[in-house]
Structure 1
């Protein structure tokens, strides 16, 4: 699923907007693998905070959903700001920008 999401948002980035899907496949695969690592890291953070490595498997779905949403969104905003500031990527007119204090693209935030 992460690979499909990464491929779907490529037209919204300046660097990859004109590339074919085959040209961005390697880049998107690396990004998808990184996303999986981030998700696992977020789960591990929740496990440490809850003191239970199986915390996400318990019937308390609301705790899991809230923690994943807050941690994932915070991480996504930080990564997007760092990458934009470092010039690693830039958005084009196809990327909706989240206003106010966030100031990052909507698609990367929805993914995390």
Structure 2
């Protein structure tokens, strides 16, 4: 009987990670496409090149989301923290990791990495040089992701129980 519970728990942990990655990918891809005008040369770039660039960025975003979730789970010692009762610490760590990674990556990408530049439309925080939209992305989308994933996971768990 214990074996079945462990096996179900592992399957549930994998399902939760896949849900976080998938929902995060969908939300971040939409956000990436909407903010295209806020980056230089993106509006003149061929459509499929923009889609490919945004897809690559979104894969990174989804990976960061799962990584940030894992750090929060490690600190709270509860992989299922998002689908149970939220702890302020877990949610704060989840958001903080995503924001810190975003700030560091945006600073590198618009500086030494020379990966992209902001257009004149992008509001920029003077103390970090980071665009406001990437920061808003990592303040809002992780919350929406967790709400959607909680709803999805509860439904998945109910189907598994039948």
**1:46–1:65 CA distance, 2 compared to 1 (3 A):** closer
1:26 aligns with 2:27: no
Distance 1:17 1:73 in 2: 26
Q: 1:40 aligns with which of 66, 90, 98?
A: 66
1:89 aligns with 2:116: yes
- Structure 2 gap ranges (5+): 1-26, 139-162
Alignment check: 8 A CA contact 1:7 1:21 kept: no
Distance 2:119 2:47 in 1: 17
- Structure 1 gap ranges (5+): none
2:155 counterpart residue number = none
Alignment check: 8 A CA contact 1:96 1:106 kept: yes
Q: Deviations over 1:14-64 (max 9, x none)?
A: 131322544311111111111111100001111111122222222125334
Distance 1:105 1:74 in 2: 13
- TM-score where L is the length of structure 1: 0.87
Alignment check: 8 A CA contact 2:28 2:58 kept: yes
- Which protein shows a greater Rg? 2
Distance 1:61 1:17 in 2: 42
CA RMSD between the two structures: 1.7
Q: How many residue pairs align between the two structures?
A: 111
The structure richer in helix per residue is 2
Alignment check: 8 A CA contact 1:98 1:104 kept: yes
Q: Deviations over 1:69-96 (max 9, x none)?
A: 2221111100101111211111110111
Alignment check: 8 A CA contact 2:38 2:122 kept: yes
**Correspondence 1:1-112 to 2 at 5 A:** 1-85=27-111, 86-99=113-126, 101-112=127-138
